[in-house]
Structure 1
């Protein structure tokens, strides 16, 4: 796997999406997710029934914005964990 460091993550992701190959997967990284939100096509949220208090915001400290996603799939487990899968909506 090649790792490339870039000063403009959003532009890099836009370029990568134009190429053939596998999907791009971001796990964690609220600040980076906030920067990349314009290019996020799909969300997979894993919720655990445990409150820890303070934590990392899902999209960092970005300004308020509206992006619609439609629920495609929801799975629950005996542990109480829920995994929700969303796809970006055209609405």
Structure 2
């Protein structure tokens, strides 16, 4: 699932939560606990909106370039002056 799909899914569930909170508000009334629930749900909505704005839209839709690695061996000239890791230069003795 892509990032865009995940954000859309969270948005749908948050919309459902907001509808449930509104229905619960009708039954519970204007109590301190209900104010906290409404505040927390509103905070979640604002946080998700900020997250959606901060995620670049193009990041999820860019194509990934396939890099092919040839089967032919590398040119040994590329490694002429290189040292073997941990072994040192071929012209010196290891300690």
Normalized per residue, the structure richer in helix is 2
With the length of structure 1 as denominator, give the TM-score of the two structures. Answer: 0.24
State the structure with bigger RCO (CA 8 A, min sep 6), 1 or 2: 1
Normalized per residue, the structure richer in strand is 1
With the length of structure 2 as denominator, give the TM-score of the two structures. Answer: 0.24
Greater radius of gyration (CA)? 2
